[in-house]
Amino acid sequence: MLSFLFISEIYAQYQEYHSEIYVSENGDSLLYRQLNPQEIEEGEKYPLVLFLHGAGERGDDNISQLRHGAMMFTNPVNREKYPCFVLFPQCPADLYWPTPRRPDNFQDEFIFPADAEISKPLALVKELLDKTIQTYPFSWRRRCGRSRAIFARCVFEIEGRESECGIYRVPRSQSWQLGTGF
């Protein structure tokens, strides 16, 4: 019974995230969840948080990506004290955020080349960011990118390819080191 109540509470918090599908001009799609501030005050601008999940949350259910980190943003105290827009895109199960294909099993020696082709899911995330920035009252001074595991690389990848994006990076990975690979 206790586990049922716990699962029900988690599910209720996930429901605060709107289930969305971004479709690009050429028909590619990206599943994502979006959380908006509880109240959007006219004239007020809000931070935008992009949360990129790890490999274990890839898929096509548009909910697994919420497994780590989503409840932090739906916590009632945090929602009131830190209103923000939050995007949780979901990478398809057969693809990866940082590169078009899995690079050499992500071995320790692997270094992402600066001129590597951007993966389709990450390109769609960039388009989704652009659309979100144009649509909502977003503060250019208050941006945050969060990512898990080795996918901290993606936050750097987006900003490196598009300097106008200007994301403040808050990677949670301790294994990724700038300029040295993983």
In a domain, 177, yes or no: no
The pTM assigned to this predicted structure is 0.75
Q: How many domains does the chain have?
A: 1
In a domain, 128, yes or no: yes
What DSSP line would sit under 6-30, residue for residue? Answer: HHHHHHHHHHTSEEEEEE-TTS-EE
Here the tokens at position 137 are 């009252």
Helix ranges (DSSP H) in 94-181 = 120-135, 152-161
Report how far apart, in Å, the C-alpha atoms of 129 and of each of 37, 77, 164 are.
17, 26, 11
pLDDT in tens, 89-139: 999 999 888 776 665 555 555 566 667 778 899 999 999 988 998 898 877
* CATH label of the domain that carries residue 81: 3.40.50.1820
In a domain, 178, yes or no: no
In a domain, 33, yes or no: yes
Nearest of 66, 87, 83, 78 to residue 12 by alpha carbon: 66
Each residue's pLDDT, cut to its tens digit, for the chain (182 residues) gives: 544 444 455 556 688 999 999 999 999 999 999 999 999 999 999 988 888 888 889 999 999 999 988 999 999 999 999 999 999 999 999 988 877 666 555 555 556 666 777 889 999 999 998 899 889 887 765 544 444 444 445 555 565 555 344 444 444 444 333 333 32
Domain containing 58: what range? 2-171
Q: Give how far the C-alpha of residue 158 lies from the chain's centroid of Cα atoms, to the nearest Å.
A: 11
